[in-house]
Structure 1
Amino acid sequence: MQKDKTHPRLQGNQRLYQVVARQIAKLIEQNATDKSWRMPSERELADELSVSRPVVREAVIALEMRGIVEVRGRAGIIVLANRPSQVSFDVAERDIGPGPFELLEARLAIESSAAALAAERATNYDILVLEECIAQMEQETEVVLLQEKGDRDFHMTIARMTNNAIIVSMIEALWAQRDESLMWKKLHEHIHAESVRPLWIGDHHAIVSALRMRHPDAAYKAMARHIRNVTNELLEADERGRIVTE
């Protein structure tokens, strides 16, 4: 029987990744004295705990930030010897908010619909501004991921193209949460920027092409494809061996 993986993101006052992080930490301590035990992969943990892989990835990143495990590319999840015995999610911690994949899920819903609406209202000037944003992205090869001005300006330009102040404020809030999230920063340490930039820039060109044609459905699909590509890269980067941990 296939296990149900449709858990809500919130469990009482706790986010699901926090609950799962505690379960993984408990699993580690239960097997601490077993020399033959190995840490399960994220796929195995998702199956064992009946949750999605994005939730497991968020939980593992939370544990990594607390010095319990370390993710080492193809070596997988390594349990650290000098780890704390308890997992704390004190309200004072800055990463208590939504996990990275929860934010991406929200962006998928909101920004895809915003792109469709923008396609109906796009002007030639808007298209020129978006092309300038991509040109800036292409020049930001030395900029650390998450600090690229061209990328943020591109998405916020599309938000403003909707001429809807509520949509603009919602998308601004999502990007602000991303920028403030310590989990986002930790997760992006696992990304090889030179490998993903061409893919993501290509996604942005596809979005502009759909907007230039004033085609709402194509714009929706192009934006959704881009955000799914970001999600997949963040989820699969370690398995592809793109992280360097020396």
Structure 2
Amino acid sequence: MEPSLKKIGVQSVHRSTLSKQVVEQIVQLLISGKMKAGDKLPPEMELMEELQVSRPVLREALSALETLGVITRKTREGTFFNNKVGSQPFSIMLALAVDNLPAIIEARMSLELGLVTMAAEKITDEQLRELRKTIDAIANSKDNDYGEADKEFHHIIAVSANNPIVEGMIDSLLIMHSKIDSLIQYRERDLTVAYHEAIYAALESRDPQEAFNQMYKHLDYVRQKVLEHST
């Protein structure tokens, strides 16, 4: 039997920032412990009634939560909190800060700068070879279509840090990468390759400080470019 929102205690939202408030209300069900990872949310009609929002607003909020990895919507089955949510608090924080682009970018920078320093100490020769492949793929890409290779470059670095505690953050890192990547107005393939080459060289030399420095230069450039065109 599906839970009742009245019993759970969801509050109706005001109409000023509807979609974000819906996200916050649904996330609050997890934070408060009223629902848990894997639970099925009430049906859309009940959510709309209790939150006092339209279907488009609700679906916008649910889409944001799905993109952030907090929920999964299954055709004919309903909407569920993901089982991994409990071990991935970053997804919750991303959901709450969904419209705060500077905070998302800074969170990505904080996470990646730590990971790349650890990667410089732990990355394997095989992972370096895989990293090289992503750089080559970007360099040989057509029409500046290299988003997936770019994401894989950062994914390999994150995984090569080889820390089981931060593994749960990697999915959130990729979500942040996709969010930021979607806001880039124009791509500069040669410049991207140059940044990645510098990071690669530092990792190949097993130099944590240089890896940090080069990753910071890369991410700071991305930050400036995205924020410049999002205001």
Shift of the 130–234 alpha-carbon distance from structure 1 to 2, 3 Å rule, reads: same
Unpaired stretches in structure 1, ≥5 consecutive residues: 1-13, 20-88, 240-246
CA contact (8 A) 2:111 2:173 kept: no
Q: 1:201 aligns with which of 180, 193, 200?
A: 193
Q: Identify the residue that residue 221 of structure 2 maps to in structure 1.
A: 229
Contact 2:116 2:157 (C-alpha < 8 Å) held by counterparts: yes
Counterpart selection for 2:186 from 181, 187, 192 = 192
Q: CA deviation at 1:137?
A: 1.3
- Pairing of 1:128-139 with structure 2 (within 5 A): 128-139=129-140
Separation in structure 1 between the aligned mates of residue 109 and residue 177 of structure 2, nearest angstrom: 14
1:163 aligns to what? Answer: 162
CA offset digits 1:69-96 (Å, max 9, x no partner): xxxxxxxxxxxxxxxxxxxx94542347
| Alignment-mate amino acid for residue 163 of structure 1 | N
How far apart are 1:210 and its partner, in Å?
0.7
Corresponding residue SS for 1:165: coil
Amino acid at match of 1:230: V
Q: TM-score if structure 1 supplies the norm length?
A: 0.51
Partner of 2:108: 107
Is the partner of 1:166 in helix, strand or coil? coil
Quote how far apart the aligned CAs of 1:129 are. Answer: 1.3
Give the aligned partner of residue 7 of structure 1.
none
Structural RMSD (CA): 3.0
Q: Which has the higher contact order (CA 8 A, sep 6+)?
A: 1
- Gaps (5+ residues) in structure 2? 1-12, 19-55, 66-94
Partner of 2:35: none
**Cα deviation code 1:161-182 (max 9, x no counterpart):** 1111332331222322553x5x
Equivalence map 1:20-99=2 (5 Å): 90=57, 92-93=59-60, 94-95=63-64, 97=95, 98-99=98-99
Q: Does 1:212 align with 2:204?
A: yes
For residue 132 of structure 1, what is the amino acid of its counterpart?
A: K
By how many angstroms is 1:202 displaced?
A: 1.1
